[in-house]
Amino acid sequence: MTTAVHTTPPLRQRPFMQVDVFTAVPYLGNPLAVVLDGTGLSDEAMQSFARWTNLSETTFVLPPTPEGRAAGADYRVRIFTPGCELPFAGHPTLGTCHAWLAHGGQPQATGPAGEVTEVRQECAVGVVALRPLAGSATDSGMRMAFAAPPLTRSTPEAAHLAQVLAALGLQPAQVLAAQSLNNGPEWLGLLLDSPDTVLALSPDHAALRALNQKVGVAALQPTTPDLPLIARSSREARAFATSASAAAANASPTAPATTEPDLWVRAFAAPVGINEDPVTGSLNASLAQWLMADGLLPQHRRHAYTATQGQALGRDGLVFLSRDDSGQVWVGGDVSACIRGTVTL
């Protein structure tokens, strides 16, 4: 009788970067670990490493699948939280693209002078296009934007919504609108009455985990001049940033004339092992698709606005949202490189 022997592939050095996404100033955004060569790694090895990094997401770059290659993909990415694999996520999309380009990746789509015009990234929801924002060169490099995947949405059930509001400590009168949002990841989106309400939340994360519900909350920036806590929070957070951060915010064609954002956002994701995510691309993408489609933004911001996220965690992320003439929503942001080297996997 023979006994099967299970062997583990030998460890080897793999190129690695850790980047900070949605900020031109390192350590004010959402960190991402990027293993730039994930070939030969098992699902278990990827999940184990993502759990070890303890970041909201860790990505692994792979060659495209045959289907992805046929669709023009430049590379494939797999995205892991500490607790599971995601079909799509925004800040890993921007961060992986930045790391891939910095590592020498050559997209198929380039301009006459060899400049990047588009990067096509394969993930579980399909091939996602990324493009540079016009006039968006910053100290941290090229500001890219990804095409938001198609969104499906519906009105949440009243009983479930009531349970979520209780877990958040919200009263129904504080909720202006609610939608179940799905662009790969699923979120319950809540538009609240003020940024102060957003910042003051102290959720029962165990209750949200038991409900298996990720929640994104947002509120519009007040248009009145007497701004309360929220404006002070913005200025205090930006005091740690350099003047380059404000300059970068104003460089984008999607940014308003002021550095004050149009939308304040928080993301609670206890069901996937993250009580609060610092800055969330997929959530901001689905919020933009919903708010733009339903006319819930001020008239002058219905085609382009900025969102900020992370203040409750000592961050100051900035997300650029825009909708082109075809109706496609684009989600952009800066990426700052923090760590370069190799990892043993």
Segment 224-257, tens digit of pLDDT: 544 455 544 544 444 444 333 443 344 333 333 3
Give the pLDDT score at 255: 37
What band does 114 get if pLDDT is binned at 50, 70 and 90?
confident
Choice between 231 and 344, residue whose per-residue pLDDT is larger: 344
Residue 67, CA distances (Å) to 31, 73, 124, 148, 210 in order:
30, 9, 11, 20, 37
Give the pLDDT score at 248: 39
d(CA 58, CA 89): 11
Average pLDDT over residues 314-328: 96
What band does 2 get if pLDDT is binned at 50, 70 and 90?
low
What band does 273 get if pLDDT is binned at 50, 70 and 90?
confident
Average pLDDT over residues 153-158: 98
What one-character DSSP code corresponds to residue 39? T
The residues that are catalytic are 57
Chain position carrying tokens 């699948």:
65
How many helices (DSSP H) and strands (DSSP E) are in the chain?
Answer: 9, 19
Residue 324 burial class via C-beta count within 10 angstroms: exposed 0-12, middle 13-18, buried 19 and up: exposed
- Rounded to two decimals, the pTM is 0.85
Residue 43 burial class via C-beta count within 10 angstroms: exposed 0-12, middle 13-18, buried 19 and up: exposed
What confidence tens digit (pLDDT) does each residue in 178-214 have?
999 999 889 999 999 999 999 999 999 999 999 999 9
Give the pLDDT score at 10: 85
Give the pLDDT score at 136: 54
Residue 43, CA distances (Å) to 36, 40, 109, 121, 268 in order:
16, 10, 31, 20, 25
